[in-house]
Amino acid sequence: MKVPESVRDIPREELFVGGHGLCAGCVAGTIARHLVKMAGPNTIVVSSTSCVEVSTAFYPYTSWRVPWIHVAFENAAAVASGIESALKVLARKGAIDPSRRINVVVYAGDGGTFDIGLQALSGMLERGHKVTYVVYDNEAYMNTGIQRSGATPPMAWTSTTPVGSKVRGKEGRKKDIVAIALAHGIPYAATANPAYPLDMDAKFVRGLSAPGPSLVHVLMPCTTGWRFEPRIGIKLARLAVETGMWINYEVVEGRLRVTTKVPKRKPVEEYLRLQGRFSHLTPEEIREIQNTVDREVDRINALAGEIAIGPVAR
């Protein structure tokens, strides 16, 4: 696998095709398309219950042109572990060519990763299975009614974090799934964003090439749950980076590097005001979110050892 340096390096072969039932404006299909382009045809994809699972595999039809298996919400990482182990046994017994490279990939949402599937993910990472786990994060359980997940950001409206005079949306912080994964001592973890496809694709390749388990955490704007116009999904994804609400970085053998530098940030209000789930926020609440983002930027800059993400342009 070659790390793409330009769009010309992205394979033309389509292994994830149209005809699926994803919502208009959904970018989960874009992420999946790029993921299997980078992985290639010798890939087995494991999908837990999610928006992508129910919309890309209407029996007897499928959008996947690679071996694909649907499993329950909680056990995608466990099933992928079993597949990876089985491939080792088959190679040892001579049933398959041991020199043939077969990728095992999990493609799961935030609910099946941050919450319900976290135990299986932890076990997979702890045991060291060579599996690339890609979580597309739309920051709630969008497939079952927009309930909050461990990935939902503070003060966001969801159907289980309604907004009123006392409760102002989701309470508590968003889990740091990359930090949780890195706590297992894995060789590669990264965050990515579909508005920066070359950076995202390079991280898929590095994850697939890592000498052990890897995790790539990808932001996925959801037109239904975030309540924005379908045509601005990629614009929102880019604004997340430009405001510091999302930082593209990777950690290789414990060393953190910011891969999309932002010399001058835009105010978070530009990102929040385009989404119906944040339409209730007062100026004071937006300032509170801005302060939280500023602290996170300082933390990542300190870990990177440079000012990779600059101050807010006033």
**Over residues 197-206, mean pLDDT:** 98
Q: Is the pLDDT of residue 149 over 80?
A: yes
pLDDT at 141: 97
Cβ proximity of 28 and 136 under 8 Å: yes
The better pLDDT of the pair 11, 166 is held by 11
Number of H helices, E strands in the chain: 9, 8
pLDDT at 262: 98
Tokens of 127: 């045991």
Q: φ and ψ at 189, to 5 degrees?
A: -150, 150
Q: Is the pLDDT of residue 295 over 90?
A: yes
pLDDT at 306: 97
Please give the single-letter amino acid code of residue 266. Answer: K
Q: Which of the 8 DSSP states describes residue 117?
A: T
pLDDT at 65: 97
Q: Is the pLDDT of residue 1 over 90?
A: no
- Using pLDDT thresholds of 50, 70 and 90, give the confidence band for residue 199: very high
Q: Do the bridges between strand 214-219 and strand 132-137 make them parallel or antiparallel, or are there none, so unpaired? A: parallel
Cβ proximity of 187 and 212 under 8 Å: yes
**Over residues 245-274, mean pLDDT:** 97
- Using pLDDT thresholds of 50, 70 and 90, give the confidence band for residue 166: confident
Cα 102 to Cα 129, 195, 209, distances in angstroms: 13, 28, 11
Tokens 């076990």 found at: 123
